């Protein structure tokens, strides 16, 4: 599905409501005895109210950098789960990584380059997800630590290629030397209490 901006969706819904005579809900109840066009809100004022609400919502949505911090958390922990051969935990962290990458691209589907071009992050993520991350998933499902290590490093290279395409080559990636989740038990064995 193509990315649609909320303000376009809301504006379309408002236009449909106005053209069909369906009034948008208002904050105050309609006074007794008033109905129809006389009690309907001013469409221009309603649109302005919706635009203000859209701007308020945009201001509280996390930015892409915030979501990418979550990606880094999950992807770093994925390394340690795979190295410990805790395959269910590795699958969990891979799924979380994929989910958060998709969220990051929903927040910002394209990036403008210094030359004025556009980098389509959706297409890059789709390629990475269908190849590198799918390969990593297969290694986890096959419980193949050698393929996991190779797939993990390949995924890091793919992610860095996106950073380079987005003119952010300073965001260099490496295999982590410590897990992000310090309180997570990476061992596949369940300890008795």
DSSP string for 55-99: HHHHHHSPPHHHHHHHHHHHHHHHHHHHHTT-HHHHHHHHHHHHH
Q: Which helix (H) or strand (E) holds 111?
A: strand 110-112
pLDDT digits over 11-28, tens only? 454 554 445 454 444 444
What does the pLDDT read at residue 189?
Answer: 82
CA pair distance 186, 116, nearest whole angstrom: 45
What does the pLDDT read at residue 40?
Answer: 63
CA pair distance 24, 21, nearest whole angstrom: 9
Burial of 151 (0-12, 13-18, 19+ CB in 10 A): buried
Give residue limits of the domains in the chain: 6-60, 64-165
pLDDT in tens, the chain (193 residues): 334 444 444 445 455 444 545 444 444 444 444 444 555 679 999 999 999 999 998 888 888 999 999 999 999 999 999 999 999 999 999 999 999 999 999 999 999 999 999 999 999 999 999 999 999 999 999 999 999 999 999 999 999 999 999 999 999 999 999 999 889 999 998 655 4
pLDDT digits over 23-67, tens only? 444 444 444 444 445 556 799 999 999 999 999 988 888 889 999
**CB-based contacts of 82: which residues, under 8 Å, 6+ apart?**
90, 139, 140, 145, 148, 149, 152
CA pair distance 164, 22, nearest whole angstrom: 49
CATH number of 64-165: 1.20.120
Q: Which of 79, 66, 93 is nearest to 154 (CA)?
A: 79
Burial of 178 (0-12, 13-18, 19+ CB in 10 A): exposed
């Amino acid at each position: 599905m193509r990315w649609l901006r909320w303000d376009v969706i809301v504006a379309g819904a408002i236009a449909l409501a106005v053209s069909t005579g369906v009034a948008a809900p208002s904050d105050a109840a309609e006074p007794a005895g008033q109905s129809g066009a006389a009690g309907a809100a001013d469409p221009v004022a309603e649109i302005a109210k919706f635009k203000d609400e859209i701007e308020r919502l945009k201001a509280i949505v996390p930015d892409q950098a915030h979501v990418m911090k979550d990606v880094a958390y999950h992807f770093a922990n994925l390394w340690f789960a795979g190295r410990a051969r805790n395959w269910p935990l590795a699958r969990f962290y891979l799924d979380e990584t994929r989910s958060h990458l998709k969220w990051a691209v929903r927040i910002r589907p394209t990036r403008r380059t210094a030359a004025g071009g556009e980098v389509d992050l959706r297409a890059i993520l789709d390629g990475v997800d269908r190849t590198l991350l799918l390969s990593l998933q297969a290694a986890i499902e096959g419980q193949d630590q050698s393929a996991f290590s190779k797939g993990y490093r390949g995924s890091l290279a793919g992610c860095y290629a996106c950073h380079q395409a987005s003119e952010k080559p300073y965001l260099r990636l490496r295999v982590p030397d410590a897990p992000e989740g310090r309180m997570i038990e990476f061992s596949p064995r369940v300890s008795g209490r």
